[in-house]
Amino acid sequence: MDEYPFFFTWVKQKNPLRFSIASVDGVKIITETGHQLIDMSSISYQASFGHNHPTIIRHMKEQLDTIPMSAPRGIFPGKIDATQELLKYMDKKEGKIFYATGGAEAVENALKIARDVSKKKLILARDISYHGATLGALSATGDWRNKAHFIPSRDWVVRIPEPSEPDAIAKTRKLIIDHGKDNFAAFIIETITGGNGVYAGTQEWWDGISELCKEFGILLIMDEVICGFGRTGVSFGYMNYNVKPDIITLAKGITGGMVPFGAVWVSQNIADYYMSNILACGLTNYAHPLGIAAMSGVLEIVQDFEFQKHLQHICAVFQKELEKLRSLPEVENIRYKGMLAAVDLTVDIQWKTFFDKGIHLATQNKRIVLAPPLIITEAELIEGMNRFKLALKELDQ
């Protein structure tokens, strides 16, 4: 079919890359022709537990059989239990959760809340970043998608120097002073830049950011949409660094992609503020029972000791396999943390080449971000990496 009655995302609509899915099986996608793809990017970083994890499905089915929908103000047992479980997994004894239906929406609400409680307008964001496709989240985003003519909001976003720049913190401090030190509501930062190439800040850089937050009373929003729920080998990406976020945005892995869902954690200070101020945030499908149920399934998986053992093991296998790529002529550079890796190539990428070799990837220019499902077995991961190498050889020809 040349013309579909729906759009494809982020591309010209004439002959976009696409494939038909006949079935899914763990980390594999099977096409209509029976071609098997190992999903080496967890679709777009959300299928952290594969494509049909029985625990998540069980929780969702049970929910469908009991309370399949709820009013935003409705309190059903799962909503309380799952939220308490989430806070426990986040190692948070305080603070509150606001639910959303995806990453961009979580970011929108985080930005709104930060501006509301601080009564300030400006935010600081990285250039190499993606925070979502809605206007506010896209304004915070620094990648090519922010360059479109329809973005009206650049006037409230100040771009900070990349962590790798010399004197990045001193320059950021100067930016804050130049724009008025009392004008900033928040920093919004992906713990580790995900889709844009796995660029992490050093501990020193994070210490500097934390200092600036303290010095100027700026809130720290950590965008954990990709890094949350085990992606970097620990529960949340920010736990790799000694940082104390005021607000955390979650999506993708929160339900393993099984249902659109997201969440925002806010600190106790912020939660207290709303005891006597209206929280002017809301959505029809707030804390939707199916999202809550899928999240419960995810929390059951990630808090299981066997999963945690597996995660440590599979991260080590992945690291070993990634290091083997360094000597390949097609590979320029590699950056990774846990089960999230970027491979910069010296050759042009053709998504089809990877597809033909039997792997699914989210490719971008000369850079590939690998993010296999966290539940992938050692054998599947090695097979996926071997297919990846075969595809690289072909790209070269």
Q: How far is the CB of 343 from ligand PLP (least distance, A)?
A: 18
Of 40 and 392, which has the nearer Cβ to ligand PLP?
40
Separation in Å, CA 239 to CA 224, 233, 255: 11, 10, 20
Tokens read off for 75: 């309190």
Q: Are 322 and 334 in contact (CB under 8 A)?
A: yes
- Judged by CB under 6 A, the stretch of 6-14, 187-195, 300-308, 334-342 that binds ligand PLP is 187-195
| # of chain residues touching ligand PLP (CB under 6 A) | 15
Q: How far is the CB of 337 from ligand PLP (least distance, A)?
A: 14
Separation in Å, CA 188 to CA 141, 203, 244, 272: 9, 17, 13, 22
Q: How far is the CB of 85 from ligand PLP (least distance, A)?
A: 22
Helical (H) or strand (E) element with 314? helix 305-325
- E-strand stretches of 63-151: 96-100, 122-126
Q: Which residues are paired to 170 by β-bridges?
A: none
Q: How far is the CB of 278 from ligand PLP (least distance, A)?
A: 25
Looking at residue 397, its amino acid is Q
Q: How far is the CB of 112 from ligand PLP (least distance, A)?
A: 15
| Residues 6+ away with beta carbon under 8 Å from 124 | 157, 158, 159, 160, 172, 175, 176, 184, 186, 187, 188, 218
Asked if 370 is part of the footprint of ligand PLP (rule: CB under 6 A), the reply reads no
Q: How far is the CB of 106 from ligand PLP (least distance, A)?
A: 7
Of 130 and 354, which has the nearer Cβ to ligand PLP?
130
Question: Which of 49, 98, 99, 130 is in the footprint of ligand PLP by CB under 6 A?
Answer: 130
Exposed / middle / buried, residue 397 (Cβ in 10 Å: 0-12, 13-18, 19+)? exposed
Q: How far is the CB of 189 from ligand PLP (least distance, A)?
A: 10
Residues 297-356 that bind ligand PLP (CB under 6 A): none
Of 105 and 380, which has the nearer Cβ to ligand PLP?
105
- Angle between helix 305-325 and 289-302 (nearest 10): 80
Of 92 and 145, which has the nearer Cβ to ligand PLP?
145
The residue to which tokens 């004008």 are assigned: 183
Asked if 104 is part of the footprint of ligand PLP (rule: CB under 6 A), the reply reads yes
3-state secondary structure of 50: strand
What binding mask, one character per residue, do residues 193-232 give for ligand PLP by CB under 6 A, x or -?
Answer: -xx---------------------------x-xx------
Asked if 100 is part of the footprint of ligand PLP (rule: CB under 6 A), the reply reads no
Asked if 186 is part of the footprint of ligand PLP (rule: CB under 6 A), the reply reads no
Question: Which of 95, 132, 230, 358 is in the footprint of ligand PLP by CB under 6 A?
Answer: 132
What is the bridge-based pairing of β-strands 122-126 and 184-190? parallel
- Judged by CB under 6 A, the stretch of 118-126, 128-136, 237-245, 322-330 that binds ligand PLP is 128-136
Q: How far is the CB of 228 from ligand PLP (least distance, A)?
A: 9
- E-strand stretches of 269-361: 331-337, 340-345, 359-360
Of 176 and 221, which has the nearer Cβ to ligand PLP?
221
Q: How far is the CB of 350 from ligand PLP (least distance, A)?
A: 22
Question: Which of 50, 78, 95, 102 is in the footprint of ligand PLP by CB under 6 A?
Answer: 102
Q: Are 292 and 65 in contact (CB under 8 A)?
A: no
| Residues 6+ away with beta carbon under 8 Å from 148 | none
Asked if 131 is part of the footprint of ligand PLP (rule: CB under 6 A), the reply reads yes
The residue to which tokens 């004197």 are assigned: 167
Looking at residue 363, its amino acid is T
Tokens read off for 336: 């990774």
Rounded-to-integer distance, Cα 220 and Cα 197, Å? 22
Helical (H) or strand (E) element with 389? helix 378-396
Asked if 251 is part of the footprint of ligand PLP (rule: CB under 6 A), the reply reads yes
What is the bridge-based pairing of β-strands 122-126 and 157-160? parallel
Residues 26-85 that bind ligand PLP (CB under 6 A): 44
- Judged by CB under 6 A, the stretch of 98-106, 145-153, 175-183, 285-293 that binds ligand PLP is 98-106
- Judged by CB under 6 A, the stretch of 119-127, 174-182, 190-198, 306-314 that binds ligand PLP is 190-198
Give the binding site for ligand PLP (CB under 6 A): 44, 102-104, 107, 130-132, 190, 194-195, 223, 225-226, 251
